[in-house]
A and B are shown apart, each in its own frame.
Chain A
Amino acid sequence: MRDLGIVFVAELVRKLRSRLFWLATAGGMFAIAVLIEAPLFFSAIAQSSSSDIVLAGPPSLVARAKTLMERHKDYRVVATVAALPPHVTNAYLAAHGKAGAAIAIAERNGKLRLDVYPRDLSAFDGAQFRDLVPLNIELATGIAAHRIDGAISIDRAIHPIDEKFADTRTAALAHGVAFGMIFILYLAIIIASQSVMSAVAEEKTSRIAEILVATISPTNLLAGKVFAAAAIAIVQVGSWFATAAVLVPFAAASPIFASAATGSEKTGAAALGIDPLLILYFIAFFVLGYLQYATTYAAAASLISRTEDLGTVTTPVILPVVGAFFVAQYALVEPDAPIVVACSFIPFLSPFVMFTRVAISVVPWWQPVLALLIDAATVAVCFWAAGRIYRVGMLLYGRLPSPKQIFAALRA
């Protein structure tokens, strides 16, 4: 344990002194701040919104259209005029409440006729004017628009049967949060595992390994490195979460996010609607996932003799983490699909997939517990196997060893 501690502290100090660590940490915090605050910033400086409309036409028609368009808050009529100029320009829109479009409304041949002048063409298509269908029917049939509107509106209530989320809005928010957390999980595991890989490759190629292996047990050496990188990664991810926790309440208080956040009076994870249990799952799956990948990466790095060979051994070990990330994306859509459920118990995939499932759906309690147990057992096997490959690999120079040689090292 003393050896492990010495290696752990030395590795920790080395990594904390690394400019790359501070760059990645600060860069991550900055990126998160930008992601949270950018919509507020851009909405503040935006010249117009495509939902802000200038309506032109006969006053009675315009009044009825305005009522219909604003009833679901899809549009905001910022100005009404009797007629539009022959050429509608951006300057005209800017002068009329910074509108995103001007719409001339008229009755023609017993039907509604719209002439739309949008600032952004891609923001308008036919489907966006469904709100005006009752008015169109009124003009064709003479039945009052409000009666038609009443007739086509169906009273409905959605009752969640899994009780995980109170409503569809919370469920959608949880998906967004889950995606963000999976992405952070993926980034943290990749960064930390590659950091271990680089450290091992440095010791191997500079022959420091020769001295170290002659002095302390390779398992302690490997464990010291892996745990130090884990501690660093936890600090890094913690700083990213802390940034989000500080900034989200401010963002949530703004009108832009008001409809998405659960309440501006909440702070930190609560403002994002994150269940504290989910944070615990995140930490558990991060630690176990990281340990699986880091030990594998370290064993792979111990097989190379030159840093140029790092790419050769990186490819086979990076595929599982990329694959796991993609399966997790699918799990966001179909959390209970048989393939997703199966993958949530497969080592290396499990940390991503099971975490996604517990984040967005109701999973029987025994499933994450079983997944954690499988992951813990996998970590033990990874340490055992990596320790053996590492012991042999660190002193092996020349060509990359064949699979047969690696198998022999495991049996030794």
Chain B
Amino acid sequence: MLVVDRIARSFGNVRAVRDVSFVVERGSIFGLLGPNGAGKTTTMRTILGIYAPDSGSVTWEGAPIDLELRRRFGYLPEERGLYGKMKVKEQIVYFARMHGLGAKLASTRADEWMERLAVTQYATRACGELSKGNQQKVQLACAVLHEPELLVLDEPFSGLDPVNAETMLACLRDLCASGTTLILSSHQMFQIEDACNAFCVVAAGEVRARGTLADLRATFPTRTLRVSPDLPEIRAVFAAAGAREPVVNGSGELAYEMDAATDFGALLRSAVAAGPLQTFERREPTLGAIYLRAIGETNGLVAR
């Protein structure tokens, strides 16, 4: 279990992280979300022991992070960190050896991972000659070859096309299934919504929301209700229930933002009684909506 306890880190006069705490259960996938400059990367680097926190602590299975522990972690930084002129396989083996693997084992595992990530044909090519997506795959292989206990991924889907993003996601799920704990940050909400077991939203160096998706939804104050057809009688039912003006989407459906505590059963019965109701769908807030609401307090955005 990783415990991040009230960490703070400043750079000169800039307080990158003020007070961040969360717990990541072993064998889970944890999503660290936040806008650019929120403090995600600083938090990740502090977890990895690259930065020492000004205050607070990070522990893995109860022990503070030291060099020996860091060797058992893996890290995929946001920007490509590869030697452009080094060959793909050599590069993967080099990073694996840095994490303590013997040369032979590193070579065997490099072959396995290159095959898994479909980059075997580039084994003897210089990394700088590869496409951005393939470089990202090589970077992932470098980060996981030593079978890390904790894998930290900063924007792992950045620059990947949908097919490669799916391949990457499948690999991450497999790693999780084999016991690796993952922390990842991403702006691709739809991709990580299903993959992550828990989330933490940070903004301006502070935690704005955290918990499982169910926890976050439970505290979300509204629900979206999609209704059709667009008839005056049906609109009247919602107006009577205190709903604000709906948004009409392209297919003519009405989208109402209703208070989460609304008695949706009673509302459904009233709508059915009012006219020929075709659609009545209550939608749980998406991770994107939860995220926007969490950071919106800082940025002055209206949460939807």
Contacts and interface: CB of A to CB of B under 8 A. Distances in A.
A206 interface: yes
Interface residues of B, number: 27
A214 B86 contact: no
B12 interface: yes
A215 B98 contact: yes
Contacts of A6: 94, 97-98
A149 interface: no
A301 to B, nearest CB: 16
Contacts of B95: 211, 215
A17 B80 CA distance: 23
A206 B86 CA distance: 13
B49 A214 contact: yes
B67 A217 contact: yes
B141 interface: no
Which of B82, B98, B143 is most buried by chain A, counting CB atoms within 10 A of its CB? B98
Given A14-B85, A211-B75, A405-B12, A216 B98 contact: yes
A114 interface: no
A215 B99 contact: yes
Interface in A106-134: none
Given A210-B75, A214-B48, A214-B73, A3 B98 contact: yes
Interface in A207-245: 207-217
A349 B98 CA distance: 37
Interface in B79-137: 79-86, 94-95, 97-99
Contact of B83 (A208, A215, A217, A395): A208
Contacts of B73: 214
Nearest to A17: B85
18 contacts: A6-B97, A6-B98, A10-B94, A14-B85, A202-B84, A206-B82, A207-B80, A208-B82, A209-B81, A210-B45, A210-B50, A210-B77, A211-B142, A214-B50, A215-B99, A216-B67, A216-B98, A405-B12
Contacts of B70: 214-215
Given A6-B98, A213-B50, A216-B98, A206 B77 contact: no
B83 A14 contact: yes
Interface string B251-293: 0000000000000000000000000000000000000000000
A206 B80 contact: yes
B71 interface: yes
A202 B83 contact: yes
B51 interface: yes
Contact of B81 (A210, A217, A395): A210
Given A215-B71, A395-B45, A206 B51 contact: no
A214 B146 CA distance: 14
B16 to A, nearest CB: 12
A289 to B, nearest CB: 28
Given A212-B98, A213-B50, A214-B49, A207 B12 contact: no
Interface in A7-51: 10, 14, 17
B18 to A, nearest CB: 20
A209 B83 CA distance: 10
B1 to A, nearest CB: 20
A107 B83 CA distance: 82
B97 A208 contact: no
Q: Is the interface of A mostly helix, strand, loop or mixed?
A: helix
Contacts of B50: 210, 213-214, 395
Interface string A177-211: 00000000000000000000000001000111111
Nearest to A5: B97
B12 to A, nearest CB: 7
A351 B58 CA distance: 46
Instruction: Give 4 nearest A-B pairs by CB, closest first.
Output: A208-B81, A207-B81, A207-B79, A214-B48
Given A14-B86, A212-B98, A215-B99, 19 more contacts: A6-B98, A10-B94, A17-B85, A206-B81, A206-B82, A207-B77, A208-B81, A208-B83, A210-B75, A210-B81, A213-B50, A214-B45, A214-B49, A214-B75, A215-B70, A215-B95, A215-B98, A216-B98, A395-B50
Interface in B1-30: 12
A211 B143 CA distance: 9
A377 B86 CA distance: 36
A207 B75 CA distance: 12
A373 to B, nearest CB: 32
A206 B51 CA distance: 19
Contacts of A405: 12
B92 to A, nearest CB: 12
A216 B142 CA distance: 15
Nearest to B98: A215
Contacts of A209: 81
Contacts of B48: 214
Contacts of A215: 70-71, 75, 95, 98-99
A12 to B, nearest CB: 12
Contacts of B83: 14, 202, 206, 208
Contacts of B49: 214
Contacts of A214: 45, 48-50, 70, 73, 75
B64 to A, nearest CB: 15
Nearest to A404: B12
Contacts of B80: 206-207
A213 B81 CA distance: 12
Interface in B28-81: 45, 48-51, 67, 70-71, 73, 75, 77, 79-81
B132 to A, nearest CB: 14
A17 B143 CA distance: 25
B103 to A, nearest CB: 9
A217 B49 CA distance: 11
A3 B95 CA distance: 11
